[in-house]
Amino acid sequence: MAIVPSRSGKTPQGPSRPSGAGPSSGAGANHPVPQSPQRQVEATVEEKGHADEALRPHRLGDYIGQTDLKQVLHIALEAARCRQEPLDHLLLYGPPGLGKTTMAMVLAAELTTRCRITSAPALERPRDIIGLLMSLEQGDVLFIDEIHRLPSMAEELLYPAMEDFRLDLAIGKGTTARSRTIDLPRFTLVGATTKAGSISSPLRDRFGMVHRLDFYNPRELQAIVERSAKLLQMGVQPSGAQAIASRCRGTPRIANRLLRRVRDYALVKVFPSIDEQVVAQALAMHRIDPLGLDPSDHRLLRTMAQQFEGGPVGLTTLAAVLGEDPDTIETVLEPYLLQIGFLQRTPRGRRLAPPAYDHLGLIDLRLSPAMDQRLDGQLPIGF
Q: Where, residue-wise, is CATH 1.10.8.60 in the chain?
A: 218-285
DSSP, collapsed to helix, strand or coil, labels residue 126 as helix
Q: Where, residue-wise, is CATH 1.10.10.10 in the chain?
A: 295-365
pLDDT band at 23 (very low <50, low <70, confident <90, very high): very low
Q: How far is CA 57 from CA 11, 54, 110, 216, 219, in A?
A: 10, 8, 11, 16, 18
Predicted local distance difference test score (pLDDT) of residue 63: 92
Indicate which residue of 145, 193, 251, 263 is catalytic. Answer: 145
Indicate which residue of 56, 114, 249, 253 is catalytic. Answer: 253
Residues 32-68 have pLDDT tens digits of: 444 443 333 333 333 434 555 778 888 888 899 899 9
Supply the CATH classification number for the domain 218-285.
Answer: 1.10.8.60
Q: How far is CA 70 from CA 77, 103, 216, in A?
A: 10, 9, 14
Indicate which residue of 7, 44, 149, 194 is catalytic. Answer: 194
User: Going by C-beta distance under 8 Å and a sequence separation of 6 or more, which residues neighbour residue 335?
Assistant: 95
Residues 257-271 have pLDDT tens digits of: 999 999 999 989 888
- Separation CA 144–CA 128 (nearest Å): 13
Q: Please, what is the average pLDDT of the chain?
A: 81
Whether 145 sits among the annotated catalytic residues: the reply is yes
Residues 273-289 have pLDDT tens digits of: 899 999 999 999 999 99
pTM summary value = 0.75
Residues 123-136 have pLDDT tens digits of: 888 888 888 888 89
Indicate which residue of 100, 247, 249, 263 is catalytic. Answer: 100
Contact 129, 168 (CB under 8 A): no
User: Which CATH architecture does the domain made up of 295-365 adopt?
Assistant: Orthogonal Bundle (1.10)
Whether 230 sits among the annotated catalytic residues: the reply is no
Q: Where, residue-wise, is CATH 3.40.50.300 in the chain?
A: 53-212
- Separation CA 383–CA 234 (nearest Å): 52
Contact 18, 54 (CB under 8 A): no
Indicate which residue of 101, 102, 118, 251 is catalytic. Answer: 101
53-212 belongs to CATH 3.40.50.300? yes
